[in-house]
Amino acid sequence: MLFFMGYNDSSGNWTGNFTRAVTDALNKRRVPFHELPSFDWLTTNAPIRRYLQIRSKSTDTWFIGWAQSPIIELIKDKPGRKVGLVVGLTAMPFEPAVLWEAEDRLNEGRRLALYDKILACSHWCKRCICEAYPHLADRVAVTGFPIDYSIYERFRDTPKDPDLVIFNQRFALEKLHAIEIMVAARLVQKGWRVQHLSGISADELAGMATSIGPLLNAAGRIGLDFQYNCTKEEYHSRLARGSIVVTTSIADMLPSSLIEAIYLGALPVAPDSMCFPEFVHTDNLYTPYDIEQILALVSERPVREHPIDQYDKDVVVENFLQEMKL
Amino acid sequence: MLYFLSEEEREDNYFRMYNQALRSELNERQVSFRDIPLVGSFYDQIKKVGSLRTRPDDIWLLSYAHNPIIQWVAQKPGRKFAHAHGLEASLFEPAVLEGYDLHEAKAFREYDGIFVNSEWSKNLIADRYPQLQADIVVSGFPFDQEAVRAEQLQSKTDNLIAFNQRFSLDKLHILEVHLAERLISAGYMVMHLCPRNLIEHIFGDREARALYRQGLKRGLRFVVNDTKAEYYRNLSRAQIQITTSAADTLSIGTLEAATLGATPLAPDWGPFPEYLPEIHLYPPYNIDKIMTLVSDPPVCKVDIGQYAPEMVFARYFEVMETF
């Protein structure tokens, strides 16, 4: 039996899509599995007793979608192989969990050591795990991150706005929101329309850090159009109109936001570092922080192939199953 | 009569240098003036201003243009001038990012003339408040090199790099930590100089606190200074000073570093090209370029003579007499 734990669904991010993509792919393959209630950073009152009541066998596999979940400490002595997927790492200085000061609570090093196998969503992710925890290096395998492209299919025919540049990264410090505003200001001056698409409302964002409210005001002043999307559908239909999507991120293991933009036909502009070279053509990459290069790439609009098929849910779940020996 | 409303002087701000330079200049020029330190409660300050009887040919000079006391001063006879240091018109003014509203446009409207640190400041104001454009005068900041140099140590520490900007979002603290990690990996020692109350400030902001901890973890040394003298001595040990600032109207920290013999490196942006040679500038925020500049630092001299107090105040008097 495979015990699978995904994520809580959230309108503002990718978590629900991940869980659905994995369960769909497992069902398609008729792999028997038992889905456990999620225990991630969004969980309140986790059903601890329910986890503890599960009886497993040594031939079973536990697959935890968020490897740093506290559940691993609860099930560590239960029979069966433990496999965890890493999608972020507090060993990295600008990981959101670090900036939210959750680093100590996650006990990352101790929890990761409890897994028999650690799956990394990207080669960059694997490198980070191995550098931070070299003693775990022989347990780490790169699988990718499963994306269900069928979700976006009906938006692919949306006509593009040729002058629309979109930022769809989280409006947060680790995505260098201040630099996003500087880039947007320059783009607006050059005649581009620039939008920031968010699954989190401005009010909710403003509660996350004192500076967010003033930065959103600054964004408005320079003509960066902040668009809150109440539903994923609204978000996807707006994203589909963008011709170019820019990221200024300083912390990403594999951003599904950029991958979905590419699938919808936008030209990506991303830093030549971290995970980006794994799925963005080299001609669409800029030297990190180089605003002039970002502007030049937006003007040049290099149309290239970007290898995002590797993240198709079927491909990635196949990788998961291979690594789990199922 | 000139009424000088002087801002409170603390170890962690630049008003001591500004106020002292202005007092010296006024004495030097034998200008009859009355120094009114803005200390105590705001109510006390208003009472103090309210008790002054001025005439239309008097001059009011405020060392901080944003001080809300201008709304009371405005009701008094006399012409009003002030120095604007930071600017809400900037996208990333620190006070605004911390949640304060400076009511800049309202305050600035009350002055006959506003002195600013740089052409960059003037342009920011002109873009945001075009109607105020004519009242803005670029004077520079009265920077007393002698006072700074008095504390200079004789020797430098090899491979020591200093950050002396505020550890906050407007200075892109996140880039500072990232850059510090790269520099430390490359064999440099990196220190962040700060006044004691900055540490308290950092601990009051979740993101700054997290970045501070990450900086410490990666070998960035936070050197706390109780006095300006101690700060100048520590800064004078550095061979290179770097700023990753996204909001500055001049950067006193960079002037201090240049005075104390450190090679300043700054983004090719904002006020920096007004006084730093091109070779000291990097494309914002290109960390690779910074690393290249650090490995082969420019040797040309940085001339900041334009900010000598007598030069700055000559502009003041030229304008105040014209009015």
**Which residue of chain A has the CA closest to B99?**
A210
Q: Is the same domain home to B32 and B117?
A: yes
Taking CB atoms within 8 Å and a gap of at least 24, the contacts of B294-302 are: B294/B161, B294/B183, B294/B186, B294/B188, B294/B240, B294/B242, B294/B265, B295/B186, B297/B239, B297/B240, B297/B263, B297/B265, B298/B263, B299/B263, B302/B258, B302/B264, B302/B275, B302/B276, B302/B277
Low-confidence ranges of chain A (pLDDT < 50): none
Query: Smallest CA–CA separation between A80 and chain B, in Å?
Result: 36
Q: Are A293 and A313 in contact (CB under 8 A)?
A: no
Task: Mark which residues 28-87 of A lie under 8 Å from B by CB.
Answer: none
How far apart (Å, rounded) are the C-alpha atoms in residues A287 and A323?
Answer: 34
Instruction: Determine if residue A80 is left, alpha or beta; phi over 0 gives left, psi from -120 to 50 gives alpha, anything else beta.
Output: left
Q: Are B125 and B108 in contact (CB under 8 A)?
A: yes
- Cβ <8 Å between A99 and B91: no
Q: Which residues contact A138 (CB under 8 A, 6 or more apart)?
A: none
Residues written for chain A: 326
How far apart (Å, rounded) are the C-alpha atoms in residues B38 and B48?
Answer: 9
For residue A44, the model assigns a pLDDT of 85
For residue A181, the model assigns a pLDDT of 97
For residue B321, the model assigns a pLDDT of 85
Q: Domain residues for B89?
A: 2-142+308-322
For residue B300, the model assigns a pLDDT of 81
For residue A262, the model assigns a pLDDT of 98
Q: Is the same domain home to B296 and B150?
A: yes
How many Cβ atoms are within 10 Å of A107's Cβ, its own excluded? 16
Query: Smallest CA–CA separation between B124 and chain A, in Å?
Result: 13
Q: Which residues contact A290 (CB under 8 A, 6 or more apart)?
A: B283, B285, B286
Residue B206 contacts A, CB cutoff 8 Å: yes
For residue B323, the model assigns a pLDDT of 56
Is-cis flag, bond preceding B285, omega within 30? yes
CATH code at position B150: 3.40.50.2000
A-B C-beta contacts closer than 8 Å: 81
How many domains does chain B divide into? Answer: 2
Q: Is the same domain home to B92 and B185?
A: no
Q: Is the same domain home to B152 and B298?
A: yes
How many Cβ atoms are within 10 Å of B266's Cβ, its own excluded? 27
Whose tokens are 């106020």? That residue is B19
For residue B3, the model assigns a pLDDT of 97
Question: In chain A, what residues touch B175 (CB-CB under 8 Å)?
Answer: 176, 289
Residue A226 contacts B, CB cutoff 8 Å: no
- Cβ <8 Å between A182 and B98: no
Q: Is the same domain home to B89 and B165?
A: no
**Which residue of chain A has the CA closest to B246?**
A178
Same fold, A2-147+311-324 and A150-307: yes
Between 3.30.1360.120, 3.20.20.140, 3.40.50.2000, 3.40.50.920, what CATH number should domain A150-307 receive?
3.40.50.2000
Q: Which residues contact A33 (CB under 8 A, 6 or more apart)?
A: A1, A2, A3, A4, A23, A26
Residue of B269, B285, B287 to mutate, interface with A, max A Cβ within 10 Å: B285
Question: In chain B, what residues touch A251 (CB-CB under 8 Å)?
Answer: none
How far apart (Å, rounded) are the C-alpha atoms in residues A124 and B112?
Answer: 58
Domain ranges of chain A: 2-147+311-324, 150-307
Instruction: Determine if residue A301 is left, alpha or beta; phi over 0 gives left, psi from -120 to 50 gives alpha, anything else beta.
Output: left
Question: In chain A, what residues touch B218 (CB-CB under 8 Å)?
Answer: 93
- Cβ <8 Å between A98 and B98: no
Residue A96: name the closest of A39, A177, A174 by CA.
A174
Query: Smallest CA–CA separation between B174 and chain A, in Å?
Result: 8
For residue A108, the model assigns a pLDDT of 95
Q: Is the same domain home to B60 and B150?
A: no
- Per-residue pLDDT reduced to its tens digit, B2-40: 999 999 998 778 999 999 999 999 999 999 999 999 999
Q: Is the same domain home to B98 and B152?
A: no
ipTM above 0.95, yes or no: no
Q: Which one-letter amino acid corresponds to residue B40?
A: G
Low-confidence ranges of chain B (pLDDT < 70): 323
Q: Is the same domain home to B180 and B110?
A: no
Q: Are A25 and A317 in contact (CB under 8 A)?
A: yes
Residue A91 contacts B, CB cutoff 8 Å: no
Q: Is the same domain home to B69 and B122?
A: yes
Q: Are A22 and A53 in contact (CB under 8 A)?
A: no
**Among A214, A250, A290, whose Cβ lies nearest the Cβ of B96?**
A214
For residue A305, the model assigns a pLDDT of 97
Question: In chain A, what residues touch B284 (CB-CB under 8 Å)?
Answer: 182, 289, 291
Specify the 3-state DSSP secondary structure of B21.
helix
- Cβ <8 Å between B207 and A99: yes
Residue B231: name the closest of B160, B162, B312, B285 by CA.
B162
Residue B16 contacts A, CB cutoff 8 Å: no
How far apart (Å, rounded) are the C-alpha atoms in residues A104 and A113?
Answer: 16
- Cβ <8 Å between B181 and A98: no
**Among B98, B178, B283, whose Cβ lies nearest the Cβ of A250?**
B178
Residue of A90, A92, A173 to mutate, interface with B, max B Cβ within 10 Å: A173
Q: Is the same domain home to B226 and B253?
A: yes
| CA terminus-to-terminus distance, chain A | 10
**CATH superfamily assigned to domain A2-147+311-324:** Glycogen Phosphorylase B; (3.40.50.2000)
Phi–psi pair at A190, nearest 5 degrees: -85, 0
Residue of A289, A291, A293, A294 to mutate, interface with B, max B Cβ within 10 Å: A289
For residue B77, the model assigns a pLDDT of 97
Q: Is the same domain home to B264 and B210?
A: yes
